[in-house]
Amino acid sequence: MKSTLIIALLLLLVFILIALGLGESDLSIASLMSEDDAVSRMILTEVRMPRVLLSVLVGAGVATSGALIQGLFRNPLADPALIGVSGGAALFASLYIVLGPEVGLLGFGLALSAFIGSLLATWLVILIGDRGGRISGMLLAGIAVNAVSLSGVGILSLLATDQQLRSVTFWALGSFNHADWQSVLISLFMLPALLRILFLARRLDIMTLGDLEAGHLGIEVPKLRLEAILLAALITGIAVSLCGVIAFVGLIVPHLVRMASHARHEIVLPGSMVVGGMLVLLADTVSRQLFSPSQIPVGIVTALIGGPFFIYLIVKKDSGDRL
């Protein structure tokens, strides 16, 4: 299994090098080494490198959060959207875009407004869903908060001008157009949370037995549940605030890792981290190149890439089971 992770890491490095070389301007080693070609070096260091690094970090964070939420809820269809983070971020970002000057959100900025929305949505989910002490209550609360948030986005879309509507739509589907080194530095705050998630692998394996059995084996289930939700909310909130909502990654990537390797979280969590970064980087590269110089939202590309591959793996696995 470790050899598979090493191969995945090497593939990710190859994808990074390819993505750095692709774009409207052709960059060669000779042009980068030339003292007279400052433009090429500026394109590489100020435009492409931040975008590539941010896409890898965001993909790794969202995919790992998806694996964490699926393990916590023991639900293969769960993803970070089920705890309301994405919906809350989308609602407050839409508020900033459409009503920012009127309601005084302009001073917060788009990213901070989205992050505040993600934290408030998570707080509501914990407040409402934790009353009964059952994980199903928190799951239902997350679905409700997310649905209400997305309804709010729909209402704001009706109030938006054409330009505002375009911004809301493009942001809600994910974009790395505004990636810079400041965004990369902010995304690094996800790393301590990602490292902590890796240390939860054994406890998540035990959680698959059920809350009662996990409690008998020494797991403090309420404490683990709260910690896992806060970690997923922190990572997803940062990711969404920087580049918008990139759907499908948190759902599909953990499945791909399980089908390709093993269901143990000590494999699924780091595997999701690497494959998630790879998938989002590939999706962003395709979004830049497909209709260049125009770009399509990254979320559309992740669905187009991941959906058919996911169906293929399901069909292949079902065929093997019948044999």
Round to whole Å and give the CA distance between 140 and 148.
Answer: 12
Q: Which residues, other chains included, contact 310 with Cβ-Cβ below 8 Å and sequence gap of 6+?
A: 252, 255, 256
pLDDT at res. 318: 56
At the top level of CATH, the class of 2-322 is: mainly alpha
Single out the residue of 260, 208, 241 nearest to residue 5, CA to CA. 260
Single out the residue of 238, 221, 290 nearest to residue 64, CA to CA. 238
Round to whole Å and give the CA distance between 318 and 305.
Answer: 21
Round to whole Å and give the CA distance between 16 and 52.
Answer: 7
| Both structure tokens of 105 | 């959100």
Q: What is the greatest pairwise CA distance in the chain?
A: 69
Q: Where are the alpha helices (DSSP H) in 130-248?
A: 135-159, 162-172, 181-187, 190-198, 201-207, 211-216, 221-243
How far is residue 238 CA from its own chain's centroid?
9
pLDDT at res. 323: 39
pLDDT at res. 267: 87
| Both structure tokens of 109 | 């900025």
Round to whole Å and give the CA distance between 146 and 134.
Answer: 19
Round to whole Å and give the CA distance between 78 and 99.
Answer: 32
| Both structure tokens of 97 | 């875009």
The answer to whether 257 touches 271, Cβ cutoff 8 Å, is yes
pLDDT at res. 23: 67
Which strand (E) or helix (H) includes residue 9? helix 2-21
Q: Which residues of the chain have pLDDT under 50?
A: 29-30, 322-323
Q: Which residues, other chains included, contact 226 with Cβ-Cβ below 8 Å and sequence gap of 6+?
A: 126, 130
The DSSP call for residue 130 is T
pTM value is 0.84
Taking the alpha carbons of 30, 35, 38, 39 in that order, is the dihedral positive or negative?
Answer: negative
Over its C-alpha atoms, the chain yields an Rg (Å, rounded) of 20
Q: Which residue has the tokens 């470790």?
A: 2
The DSSP call for residue 27 is -
- Report domain extents, the chain: 2-322
The answer to whether 62 touches 235, Cβ cutoff 8 Å, is yes
